[in-house]
Amino acid sequence: MIGCVKLFNVKHCRGDYTEISYFDDSDREVAPGEASRVRIREILASGEVVKESWGFCGEVRKVG
């Protein structure tokens, strides 16, 4: 996947691995350097999502 990173053996993860996906303002997956939003999922080996978080990343933009 474009803009998706899987991390295994994460010390504070509640699942078996962590998946980080990067998105632009139009919710399209992009490379990390082009992203404005990020989704972090903690996933069990069975594929069940234990926890999902969204956040903002990248350059700070002024509104208005």
Higher pLDDT, 45 or 2: 45
Which candidate, 1, 3, 14, places its Cα nearest to that of 37? 3
* pLDDT grade for 54, boundaries at 50, 70 and 90: very high
pLDDT at residue 50, as a whole number: 92
pLDDT at residue 60, as a whole number: 61
Query: pLDDT digits over 4-51, tens only?
Result: 667 676 666 677 888 889 999 899 999 988 889 999 998 888 999 999
Alpha carbon distance 58, 64 (integer Å): 18
